[in-house]
């Protein structure tokens, strides 16, 4: 291994976030909900449909190559019935000895379940005033926070992490990158970047002295794009964070984004094969029946959390009675149907407000003398 390979990637100097990025129309729409704000957050369509946290630590150990390296992981999934791929590049860290000095060795990690919780928490913190920001001229969004604030928030959601675990999780998110490629209705879609960018961090000595020191993160471009285009969707954040399993979180996220017309008069079907393909969370099971049993358990958890009143499964078998697939028919709860109705209304209201604001901006621009017009 060369000396160059042992070094962490050099961090880019990032332009400071202007004060107006913490207070603007687009951000206000993202931070305003229809309902009790404390229990709500925003789901981002393509970003939250991408299986970006699906490689468990146990699986990573099996994939690890000599020297601590991990390969680029390519995951195939579908989004709105179009084929997509996600290429995930792991974060690389130096290893240190007991004396605190580098050993000359490195190790790599993919973002997994812990990093998923941290990212959800950061997005939740971003809906607080003077915490989240949206900088349209430089096309970026994110939030500022302290480690103490982040840790306290996660504890309140039932997830206790030490400061060193939080720092490691943030660094994995900042040093890992993901490239999402696929087709859309009218054009190809590509989104590439780190999971987050740590714009400003606090060193370990300062953290011990003052855990309330502020950090600043920048979200993936797909989140920024969603804020700009108002394509996000509100959902019950507290319920999602109460999930015991990662698969249950994924199922709830899918229902939030796809079962938008939920009501007591209609049901929703999901296939085992679709869930396995698009979540990438059942790949570790060597036997299909074990994966189905795990999925049954996750649906039971989703039901217990108040999303469903019931669900039933229908097995699809071939002529030789071989199990080919399982169809799950879901019956929503009154609470979830009401949440989806509120999410629909909020999304429609926000888009109307956004369109009105854009029209007013255009009219104001056109009313200016040509010599003074400035495009931002």
The answer to whether residues 196 and 174 touch, using CB atoms and an 8 Å cutoff, is yes
Instruction: Please give the radius of gyration of the chain, using alpha carbons only, rounded to the nearest integer.
Output: 22
Range 272-298 average pLDDT: 97
The answer to whether residues 281 and 247 touch, using CB atoms and an 8 Å cutoff, is yes
The answer to whether residues 128 and 135 touch, using CB atoms and an 8 Å cutoff, is no
> Tens digits of per-residue pLDDT, 242-259?
999 999 999 999 999 999
Question: Length of the chain in residues, anyone?
Answer: 376
Express as a percent the part of the chain with pLDDT over 70: 89
H or E segment and range at residue 323: strand 323-332
Range 305-331 average pLDDT: 94
Express as a percent the part of the chain with pLDDT over 90: 80
Whether pLDDT at 147 is above 50:
yes
Residue 297 is predicted with a pLDDT of: 98
Whether pLDDT at 4 is above 70:
no
Measured CA to CA, the distance from residue 204 to residue 165 in angstroms comes to 12
The answer to whether residues 329 and 312 touch, using CB atoms and an 8 Å cutoff, is yes
User: Among 189, 179, 240, 228, which residue's Cα sits nearest to residue 43?
Assistant: 240
Residue 372 is predicted with a pLDDT of: 56
H or E segment and range at residue 276: helix 272-279
Residue 67 DSSP class: G
Task: Give the distance from CA 235 to its chain's centroid.
Answer: 13
- Nearest-5° Cα angle at 245, 81 to 92: 80
Whether pLDDT at 343 is above 60:
yes
State the angle between helix axes of 113-125 and 163-175 in degrees (0 to 180), rounded to the nearest 10: 90
Query: Which two three-digit tokens encode residue 309?
Result: 């009143």
Residue 186 is predicted with a pLDDT of: 64
H or E segment and range at residue 300: helix 288-304
Q: Which residue has the tokens 């499964």?
A: 313
Give the chain's mean pLDDT.
Answer: 91
**The whole model's pTM is what?**
0.89
* Position 306 confidence tier, pLDDT thresholds 50, 70, 90: very high
> Tens digits of per-residue pLDDT, 79-93?
999 999 999 999 999
Query: Which two three-digit tokens encode residue 99?
Result: 């004396």
* Domains contained in the chain, CATH given: 15-235 (no CATH), 243-356 (1.10.10)
Whether pLDDT at 366 is above 80:
no
> Tens digits of per-residue pLDDT, 183-226?
877 678 888 999 999 888 877 666 666 767 899 999 999 999 99
* Position 363 confidence tier, pLDDT thresholds 50, 70, 90: very low
> Tens digits of per-residue pLDDT, 60-82?
999 999 999 999 999 999 999 99
Phi/psi for 28 (5° steps) reads -60, -40
Residue 6 is predicted with a pLDDT of: 42
Count other Cβ atoms within 10 Å, centred on residue 96. Answer: 11
DSSP letters spanning 204-264: HHHHHH-TT-EEEEEE-HHHHHHHHHT--EEEEHHHHHT-SSHHHHHHHHHHHHH-TT-BT
> Tens digits of per-residue pLDDT, 110-124?
999 999 999 999 999
Residue 337 in 3-state DSSP?
helix
């Amino acid at each position: 291994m060369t000396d160059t390979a042992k070094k962490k990637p050099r961090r880019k100097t990032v332009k400071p976030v202007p004060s107006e990025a913490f207070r603007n129309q687009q951000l206000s729409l993202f931070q305003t909900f229809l309902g009790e704000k404390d229990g709500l957050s925003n789901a981002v369509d393509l970003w939250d449909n991408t299986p970006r946290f699906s490689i468990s630590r146990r699986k990573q150990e099996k994939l690890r190559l000599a020297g601590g390296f991990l390969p680029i992981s390519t995951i195939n999934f579908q989004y709105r019935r179009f084929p997509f791929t996600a290429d995930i590049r792991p974060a690389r860290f130096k290893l240190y000895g007991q004396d605190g000095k580098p050993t000359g060795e490195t190790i790599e990690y993919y973002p997994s379940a812990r990093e998923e919780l941290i990212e959800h928490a950061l997005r939740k913190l971003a809906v607080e005033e003077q915490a989240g920001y949206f900088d349209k001229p430089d096309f970026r969004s994110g939030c500022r926070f302290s480690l103490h604030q982040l840790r306290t928030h996660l504890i309140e959601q039932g997830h206790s992490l030490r400061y060193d675990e939080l720092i490691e999780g943030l660094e994995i998110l900042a040093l890992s990158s993901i490239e999402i490629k696929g087709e859309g209705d009218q054009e190809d879609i590509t989104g590439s970047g780190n999971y987050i960018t740590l714009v400003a961090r606090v060193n370990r000595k300062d953290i011990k002295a003052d855990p309330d020191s502020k950090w600043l993160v920048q979200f993936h471009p797909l989140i920024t794009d969603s804020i700009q285009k108002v394509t996000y969707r509100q959902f019950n954040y507290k319920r999602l964070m109460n999930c015991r399993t990662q698969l249950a979180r994924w199922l709830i996220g899918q229902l939030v984004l796809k079962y938008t017309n939920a009501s007591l008069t209609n049901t929703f079907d999901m296939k085992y094969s679709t869930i396995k393909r698009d979540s990438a969370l059942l790949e570790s099971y060597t036997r299909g029946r074990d994966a189905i049993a795990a999925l049954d358990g996750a649906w039971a958890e989703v039901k217990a959390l108040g999303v469903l009143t019931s669900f039933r499964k229908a097995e699809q078998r071939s002529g030789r009675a071989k199990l080919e697939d399982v169809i799950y028919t879901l019956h929503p709860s009154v609470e979830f149907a009401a949440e989806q109705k509120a999410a629909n209304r909020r999304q429609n209201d926000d888009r109307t407000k956004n369109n009105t604001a854009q029209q007013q901006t255009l009219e104001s621009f056109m009313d200016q003398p040509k010599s003074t017009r400035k495009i931002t």
